Structure 1
């Protein structure tokens, strides 16, 4: 299994847009953002569409088309970004029902659900503590 990079790419795109806007630009094109992320602009457009649905980005069409933040970087947490691009649970149970006649098969679902619930609560708490302003600050300090 490979790790999912959607949260990282979404945070990258939004942070880049925020910095670009601070430097006096009103909107950023998906091509510009894709250059920073080093991916195809179509990937960025699809991701930004999800971020728009999540209330984190907005777009302008026609002349001067592009993307902008819907809120300040300081008002967007990593949890906000995560919820916009990764709806649903982190972990899943079996796709088919395990053998109910087996002691493990009968009880594994309930046990794993409790463990996964604790992990998810911890993840959400940690993501909520960090804003994209924090991310940008750390990026600029590291430069």
Structure 2
């Protein structure tokens, strides 16, 4: 199983926009910072736009900008904007109902997974882009 890097890349994108803002940044410039293909960046920017976190303008001097103040964007906001699925999934096929574990494991895990998801989101909600920009600037000195 491979972990998704969508949240991490989206956080990188928005931290870069906050760090460099308010000037718009092109997806090519952003891709250079992330060190990935601009197509990956554009896909994530589309999700971030749908969530109301970024906007774009075309033409010379155009690019992507934050639509909210960095102190008003939490890592939870970003995570929810780009991750389409919860971090933990139950079986893709129903386990064997004749087995006592197979019959009951999904119900046993639902509460555990819901609690873990809530804890993750609560922790991410405590950090804003402003926190990350401050940390990045401190490390760049």
Residue 17 (structure 1) aligns with:
17
- Mapped to 1, the partners of 2:43 and 2:91 lie a distance apart of 29
Post-superposition CA distance 1:16-62 (Å, at most 9, x none): 0111115xxx2110011111101111111111011000111001123
Task: Return the match for 1:125 from 122, 125, 139.
Answer: 122
Residue 93 (structure 1) aligns with:
90
- Mapped to 2, the partners of 1:77 and 1:124 lie a distance apart of 10
TM-score normalized with structure 2 length: 0.94
Residue 110 (structure 1) aligns with:
107
Long gaps (5+) in structure 1: none
What RMSD over aligned residues (CA atoms) do the two structures have, in Å?
Answer: 1.1
- Mapped to 1, the partners of 2:79 and 2:10 lie a distance apart of 8
Task: Return the match for 1:83 from 64, 70, 80.
Answer: 80
Task: Return the match for 1:53 from 50, 55, 67.
Answer: 50
| Alignment pair present for 1:135 and 2:132 | yes
Q: SS state of the match for residue 68, structure 1?
A: strand
TM-score normalized with structure 1 length: 0.93
* Aligned residues between the structures: 140
